[in-house]
Amino acid sequence: MNTFKISAVLLALVAVLTACGKQGAPAADGAAPAAASAAAPAAGAGISFVDTQEGKPIVIDAKLFDTPAAKEFLATGKNPYVGNEEQIKKGKRIFGLYSCTQCHGPEAGGQVGPGLVGPTFKYPKNATNKGMFETIWHGTNGGMGAKGLGLMNPSNPEDGVKPDEILQVIAWIRSHGTVTGNE
């Protein structure tokens, strides 16, 4: 390949990655996205979240953890939906609805994007449900934009996936392998 072709390929790659979107950008008025700026759980009240990109704290409004399963996850980091067939079916539907299959494949084994099933992961933290939650909620360095409520489309605080829905998706992903994330 000559230098011109290499430059063209690199430019195209940058354009594709940029199109995947950046998350957490301020709204047009300079305000932070609602889900990112809300209060964190009280100290000692549960787990804390960090982004997959830089390991910086993620602040998620505890009120978004509004189901018994989401509250249990917030307190323990364990996903109570793992192994629950009803919730696994819901997770499969959400995985398809948000077009996750386009990058991660129809069974989350990888396609353009990495496999999510394990036992090895592009982001080792995804071996835990807390880590996979953080990756889905806030996005990655590799091109996946944030999917969390208020982050997916910062101009619409109602756009994105709720914590309970992310737990359902994770339960569906875990149903395809031997890693439960609750180990």
Mean pLDDT, rounded, for 133-162: 92
**Buried/exposed code over 7-28 (b: 16+ C-beta within 10 A; e: otherwise):** eeeeeeeeeeeeeebebbeeee
Predicted pLDDT at 12: 41
Tell me which of 11-20, 40-49, 119-128 is least confident: 11-20
Is 179 a domain residue?
no
Which pTM value belongs to this model? 0.76
pLDDT at 177: 93
Dig out the tokens for 122 from the structure.
């592009």
Question: Taking Cα atoms as reference points, which of 106, 104, 156, 157 lies closest to residue 132?
Answer: 104
- Average per-residue pLDDT in the chain? 81
Could you give the number of structural domains in the chain?
1
Residues 6+ apart with CB under 8 A from 96: none
Nearest Cα residue to 51 out of 172, 175, 147: 147
The domain containing residue 117 runs over which residues? Answer: 3-174
Does residue 181 lie within any of the structural domains?
A: no
Task: Compare 99 and 22 and report the one with higher pLDDT.
Answer: 99
Q: What band does 45 get if pLDDT is binned at 50, 70 and 90?
A: low
Residue 174 is predicted with a pLDDT of 97
pLDDT greater than 60 at residue 5: no
Mean pLDDT throughout 158-181? Answer: 96
Phi, psi of 161 (to 5 degrees): -100, 135
106 — phi, psi (to 5°)?
-65, -20
Residue 61 lies in a domain: yes
Cα–Cα distance for residue pair 158/142, rounded to 1 Å: 25
Q: What is the CATH number of the domain that holds 17?
A: 1.10.760.10
The rounded percent of the chain whose pLDDT value lies above 70 is 75
Regarding predicted confidence, which is higher, 29 or 97? 97
In a domain, 97, yes or no: yes
Q: Is residue 115 part of a domain?
A: yes
Identify whether 145 is part of a domain.
yes
Is 133 a domain residue? yes
Query: Residues near 62 by Cβ (< 8 Å), separated by ≥ 6?
Result: 39, 40, 41, 42, 45, 46, 74
Residue 19 falls inside a structural domain: yes
What's the N-to-C CA distance of the chain in angstroms? Answer: 47
Which class for 57: exposed (0-12), middle (13-18), buried (19 or more C-beta within 10 A)? exposed
